[in-house]
Amino acid sequence: MKLVVFGYGNESRGDDAIGPRLLHALEALNIPGVDCVEDFQLQIEHALDLDGADLALFLDAGEGTPAPFAFYEAREMRNITSSSHAILPGSVLGVYRQVKNAAPPPAFVLCVRGEQWELGTDMGAAAQRHLAAALAFATDLLAAPDVAVWRARTTGESL
Give CA–CA dist 64/70, Å, rounded. Answer: 10
Query: Is the pLDDT score of 86 beyond 80?
Result: no
Closest Cα to residue 69, out of 109, 107, 108, 110? 110
pLDDT of residue 85: 53
Q: What is the CATH number of domain 3-152?
A: 3.40.50.1450
pLDDT tier for residue 80 given thresholds of 50, 70 and 90: low
How, if at all, do strands 55-63 and 34-39 pair?
A: unpaired
140, 145, 147, 150: CA torsion to nearest 10: 10
Sign (positive or negative) of CA dihedral 133, 62, 25, 36: positive
12, 120, 122 from 109: Cα distances, Å = 22, 26, 23
Mean pLDDT across the chain, nearest whole number?
92
Over residues 90-126, the pLDDT tens digits come to 999 999 999 999 999 999 999 999 999 989 889 999 9
pLDDT tier for residue 136 given thresholds of 50, 70 and 90: very high
**In 73-124, which ranges are continuous DSSP H helix?**
89-100
pTM of structure: 0.93
Distance of CA 72 to the CA centre of its chain: 10
pLDDT tier for residue 159 given thresholds of 50, 70 and 90: very low
Q: Where are the domains of the chain?
A: 3-152
Over residues 28-79, the pLDDT tens digits come to 999 999 999 999 999 999 999 999 999 999 999 999 899 999 999 999 997 6
pLDDT of residue 82: 55
3-class SS letters over 129-157: HHHHHHHHHHHHHHHCCCHHHHHHCCCCC
pLDDT of residue 155: 87
Query: Exposed (0-12), middle (13-18) or buried (19+): which is 136, by Cβ within 10 Å?
Result: exposed
% of the chain beyond a pLDDT of 70:
93
Sign (positive or negative) of CA dihedral 132, 135, 118, 154: negative
